Amino acid sequence: MKIPIDFLTPGMRVQKPLFGRRGELLLNRGVTLSDSLITLLKKNNILTVDVEGPVPFDEYQIKDTISEKLRQAALNTLMDWIKNRHILNLNRVYEVVKSLVEEILSDKEVSDNLTNLCSTDLYTFAHSVDVCILSVMAGKKLGFNKKKLYTLGMGSILHDVGKLDIPPEILNKPARLSPQEYEIIKKHPIYSYEKLRKREDENLNQYSLNIVLNHHERFDGSGYPRRLKKDEIYELDYLCAIADVFNAMTTHRVYRKALPVHEVYEMLEGSCDTLFPYDITKAFLSCIAPFPPGTLVMLSSDEPALVIASSTLPFRPMVKLLRSSEDIDLTKELNITIKRQLTPEEALSFIPTIDRKRFYSLINVNL
């Protein structure tokens, strides 16, 4: 089962191989974790690990939105392509996108799980797969038919292929980019577009190609490479662009830490009709739980709490108080708000009288 890195303890055994940012193997299946290995994983910004069960806090495992097998197939297809730079099998990519769309269309509880996928993997191409899943989910919300979802999925999964042509020392630079380096990065949509257009592949139509070329364009004309604005940018391009920003900001990068989902949610809300059009942003955000179940929070009443269920009001979920185990429905208790998100360590520090074991039993609720 997949559990957050903060809840790993020495002695647990790794259930699935773990890979670093560049696809290198960090830990193989079956390895028993030690303090130093856990530190190594933290250094590599690994956020979740699949460990062999049972674990003491069964209910705290993270559920995958998309089946692990399918995610792996999608990642492998893209990884193959890194190995054989010029032989990208677009037929295979199309098959993968079709399966992802099918799975998303069949999943009835997609929205609550949507944010889980953003922090689970750090494969080199996990971002492309996640952006594809996120944009297709939002497209589903907008009532797109299957064909339109395939088009959106193909453009989204391929949106950053041009990054393969950017020198890795610029792409993975852990410091601020110089203006010249930034100009090079800004060429990747054109590289992606040119690379794919030449293929003249039947699985890649002009709308998918537009997504690739326009995913950094912005509503107010502040984007790149062509500084398009408003309706010069298509609906599908915007969906991929929003999913791209959301995934990039909620994922750890070499140059900065992941931002909490609720902060990115608010940032996107604030960018309606400046960076992205209002209705498309709203459709995307309706798929996101800013405080997904499992999030530890501090309430305005100075009570640490655990989010146990989402509600119709995104910022007012159902919570369980950590000190008293009392459940509070924030859609009813309107005088109480969520003040901020807590790390597990912070949450523990607010409960000094009980030990960690009791803390886990407190949060051992059905999420």
- Active-site annotation, residues: 163
**Residue from 121, 160, 217, 237 binding Fe ion (CB under 5 A):** 160
* Segment interacting with Fe ion (CB under 5 A) among 135-143, 155-163, 293-301, 323-331: 155-163
Q: Which stretch binds Fe ion (CB under 5 A): 40-48, 238-246, 253-261, 308-316?
A: 238-246
Stretch near Fe ion under the rule CB under 5 A, chosen from 37-45, 61-69, 243-251, 283-291: 243-251
CB of 189 to Fe ion, least distance (A): 6
- CB of 52: closest distance to Fe ion in angstroms? 34
The answer to whether 110 touches 137, Cβ cutoff 8 Å, is yes
Which one, 63 or 186, has the nearer CB to Fe ion?
Answer: 186
Q: What is the DSSP letter of 71?
A: H
Count of C-beta atoms within a 10 Å radius of residue 37: 19
- Least distance from C-beta 188 to Fe ion, angstroms? 6
Question: Residue 90 Cβ, how far from Fe ion at the closest point, in Å?
Answer: 19
In whole angstroms, the minimum distance from the beta carbon of 253 to Fe ion comes to: 11
Among 239-247, 316-324, 335-343, 359-367, which window interacts with Fe ion (CB under 5 A)?
239-247
To Fe ion, the closest distance from the beta carbon of 341 in angstroms equals: 25
Separation of alpha carbons 77 and 104, rounded Å: 19
Contact letters (x/-) for Fe ion, 270-309, by CB under 5 A? ----------------------------------------
- Taking CB under 5 A as the binding criterion, the range among 23-31, 50-58, 205-213, 242-250 that sits at the site for Fe ion is 242-250
Q: Indicate the residue among 160 and 303 with the shorter CB distance to Fe ion.
A: 160
Q: Is 130 an interacting residue with respect to Fe ion (CB under 5 A)?
A: no
Closest CA to 331 of 310, 347, 317, 351: 317
Contact of 75 with 89, CB cutoff 8 Å = no
The span from the CA of 296 to the CA of 261, in Å, is: 12
Q: In whole angstroms, how close is the CB of 182 to Fe ion at the nearest point?
A: 13
> Cβ of 61: how many Cβ atoms within 10 Å?
19
CA contacts within 13 A on the Cβ side of 321? 14
- Residue 30 Cα distances to 11, 13, 44, 50, 232, angstroms: 11, 6, 19, 10, 52
Helix then strand then coil, % of the chain, to nearest 5: 45, 10, 45
Query: 247 vs 341, which CB is nearer to Fe ion?
Result: 247
Nearest Cα to Cα of residue 138 among 114, 119, 159, 170: 114
Q: What is the DSSP letter of 16?
A: S
DSSP bridge partners of 340: 298
Contacts with 212 (C-beta within 8 Å, 6 or more apart), sequence order: 155, 158, 159, 161, 162, 189, 192, 193, 196
For Fe ion, the closer of residues 2 and 187 by Cβ is: 187
Q: Which is nearer to Fe ion, 163 or 320 (CB)?
A: 163
* Residue number with CB closer to Fe ion (50 or 244): 244
- Using rule CB under 5 A, residue 237 touches Fe ion: no
Whole-number Å distance between alpha carbons of 208 and 147: 11
Retrieve residue 74's tokens: 């999608």
Check residue 244 for interaction with Fe ion (CB under 5 A). yes
Q: CA–CA separation, 260 vs 262, rounded Å?
A: 6
Residue placing its CB nearer to Fe ion in the complex, 192 or 341: 192
> Contacts with Fe ion: how many residues (CB under 5 A)?
2
- Give the footprint of Fe ion on this chain (CB under 5 A): 160, 244
